Amino acid sequence: MSDLITQSAASLAAALAAGSVSSVEVTQAHLDRIAAVDGDVHAFLHINEAALDAAAAVDAQRAAGEQLGELAGVPIAIKDVLCTLGMPSTAGSRILEGWIPPYDATVVARLRAAGLPLLGKTNMDEFAMGSSTEFSAYGATHNPWDLDRIPGGSGGGSSAAVSAFEAPIALGSDTGGSIRQPAAVTGSVGMKPTYGGVSRYGAIALASSLDQVGPVSRTVLDAALVHDVIGGHDPRDSTSLTDQWPSFAAAARAGAAAESLKGLRVGVVKELDAPGFQAGVSQRFHETLRILEAAGAEIVEVSAPSFDYAVAAYYLILPAEASSNLAKFDSVRFGLRVNPPGGGTVEDVMAATREAGFGPEVKRRVILGTYALSAGYYDAYYGSAQKVRTLIQRDFASAFAQADVLVSPAAPTTAFKLGEKIEDPLAMYLNDVTTIPANLAGIPGMSIPMGLAPEDGLPVGIQLMAPAHEDARLYTLGATLERLLEEKWGGPLLSQAPALV
């Protein structure tokens, strides 16, 4: 395995800045790794050979003495939910097969402007509906720790790409856990920023009041470096916050250097420390709490009783918003068109196209959302779910009055077997029980590795949550905890992953 692919983005950036390696070399090493392992992992839907041109261009800029951003020359993978000029953008759906957008998502444009070569587009559950990538129209991604298992979802392509060393960093999107749950089950890092902290312009919408784009990486600092590039106000997204954000990389570096967590109040959410969770997940979680405590943190138990209703509210709000957002796939302006036998009106063509172009989970949720929004049911379902959302926000407000950060397992189990839950939608939905509350409230959440479950040797993640706008707090705490855990393990958790070749 080339040394270049095992390095963090931060260390590659340092080597690039020092001139000891070129972006072409780094990018080529990752393309070689993709060629070697992606037949088994299937993290990518599209590989961008033009990444080498972008790498050569940034090498030339550096040679010419131009001022470059820290990550200039470090390649990155992009979740296929994001629009990219020159690369197909399918959101994992047959209905957008081969579609090349006429514009870049703002986050993609910012990465290009910062000199990051784009390695390609990563696999995902169709329109980000799923927790396993098994609902991708293009076949599932495989977990690099065990190829018979799921890499999480919906952003399992991005999490698998970084944990299989096919990319040092990637972008994801998180509507109910699609960045954090894949990070947890692959031993990588995933950050869902505060709602509105990162532009969603050019992100193919799933549920607009929940969706948030964020970084996927192997280290907390790398996530922070990506966040610094993609974050900040975008006038093209009307939900984009106008906050002046601090440097998240500086927050992570401060956390990595800190000697103590003294005085930090860490709240354990009682409802997310549940007896139904896998034993090894609970065990590692409680061991991690002891580590935090030993480093000076004060552990307090907090209660959020409304969280018991979070999954139910989420599976009303999400389908309702998705059924509306996905109405744009009408066989007229982009994507697939299927003419029914014998022809028909534009409406018949639309129905035939959506029947052929949408997979089973998308149909399930669109029909469910249509039901939840229909006259006579709107108040009982969508209206009630919005009230639950208020109760969850109140629970977070009272929890954050007692604690600076909240913690929970990032997922209730380790990676399950491919095929295990695909025929049981409810079981699949419960994977998101730990991550959904943060989306409903709009607060930031991060998942970092906290060890391997003893019973199956698979990664487990801890979720850190902070009040809205306090993303920097997660980078500081995350970097401190990452350092403490790696000292205990004797290195990064991913160094224990199988070699794959």
Partner 1 sequence: MSESQPEHPEGITPDVVRHLAGLARIALTEDEVGKLTGELGIILASIEKVSEVATDDVPGTSHPIPLKNVYRPDVPGPTLTTEEALAGAPDSDGSRFRVTAILGEEQ
Q: Enumerate helices (H) and strands (E) in the chain, giving the number of each.
A: 17, 11
| CB of 392 closer than 8 Å to CB of 386 | no
481 Rama sector, left if φ>0, alpha if ψ -120 to 50, beta otherwise: alpha
188-217 mask for partner 1 (x: CB under 8 A)?
------xxx------------xx-------
Instruction: Provide the minimum distance between the beta carbon of 304 and partner 1 in the complex, in angstroms, as a whole number.
Output: 13
| CB of 119 closer than 8 Å to CB of 167 | yes
Question: Is residue 192 among the annotated active site residues?
Answer: no
Interface residues for partner 1 in 61-100 (CB under 8 A)? Answer: 99-100
Tell me: does residue 246 bind partner 1 (CB under 8 A): no
| CB of 471 closer than 8 Å to CB of 446 | no
Of 56, 299, 351, 422, which lies in the binding site for partner 1, with binding defined by CB under 8 A? 351
CB of 165 or CB of 309, closer to partner 1: 309
CB crowding 126-163: b at 16 or more within 10 Å, else e: bbbbbbbbbbbbbebbbbbbbbebbbbbbbbbbbbbbb
Tell me: does residue 410 bind partner 1 (CB under 8 A): no
Instruction: Count the Cβ atoms, other than its own, within 10 Å of residue 378.
Output: 13
CB of 10 or CB of 440, closer to partner 1: 440
Site size toward partner 1 (CB under 8 A) is 77
* Residue of 8, 131, 132, 178 marked catalytic: 178
The residue behind tokens 């077997």 is: 417
Interface residues for partner 1 in 411-450 (CB under 8 A)? Answer: 425-426, 429, 439-442
| Number of residues that make up the chain | 501
Instruction: Provide the minimum distance between the beta carbon of 388 and partner 1 in the complex, in angstroms, as a whole number.
Output: 5
| Rounded distance between C-alpha atoms, residue 259 and residue 296, angstroms | 10
CB of 189 or CB of 441, closer to partner 1: 441
Interface residues for partner 1 in 446-475 (CB under 8 A)? Answer: 468
Coil/strand/helix, residue 147: coil
Of 348, 378, 397, 495, which lies in the binding site for partner 1, with binding defined by CB under 8 A? 348
Question: Is residue 208 among the annotated active site residues?
Answer: no
| Rounded distance between C-alpha atoms, residue 485 and residue 481, angstroms | 6
| Rounded distance between C-alpha atoms, residue 149 and residue 111, angstroms | 31
Instruction: Provide the minimum distance between the beta carbon of 474 and partner 1 in the complex, in angstroms, as a whole number.
Output: 17
* Residue of 23, 79, 93, 306 marked catalytic: 79
Of 60, 103, 246, 287, which lies in the binding site for partner 1, with binding defined by CB under 8 A? 103
Instruction: Provide the minimum distance between the beta carbon of 20 and partner 1 in the complex, in angstroms, as a whole number.
Output: 40
CB of 65 or CB of 342, closer to partner 1: 342
Question: Is residue 79 among the annotated active site residues?
Answer: yes
Of 46, 192, 227, 354, which lies in the binding site for partner 1, with binding defined by CB under 8 A? 354
- Comparing C-alpha atoms, which of 267, 284, 275, 282 is closest to residue 437? 267
| Rounded distance between C-alpha atoms, residue 76 and residue 431, angstroms | 27
Instruction: Provide the minimum distance between the beta carbon of 343 and partner 1 in the complex, in angstroms, as a whole number.
Output: 7
SS3 letters for 237-268?
Answer: CCCCCCCCCCCHHHHHHHHHHCCCCCCCEEEE
Instruction: Provide the minimum distance between the beta carbon of 446 and partner 1 in the complex, in angstroms, as a whole number.
Output: 17
Displacement of CA 404 from its chain's centroid (Å): 23
Instruction: Count the Cβ atoms, other than its own, within 10 Å of residue 470.
Output: 15
| Rounded distance between C-alpha atoms, residue 479 and residue 251, angstroms | 9
Interface residues for partner 1 in 367-396 (CB under 8 A)? Answer: 367-368, 370-371, 374-376, 380-381, 383-391, 393
Interface residues for partner 1 in 16-55 (CB under 8 A)? Answer: none
Interface residues for partner 1 in 116-145 (CB under 8 A)? Answer: none
CB of 401 or CB of 427, closer to partner 1: 427
CB of 99 or CB of 489, closer to partner 1: 99
Interface residues for partner 1 in 293-332 (CB under 8 A)? Answer: 306, 309, 311-313, 315-316, 323, 327, 330-332
- What residues act catalytically? 79, 154, 178
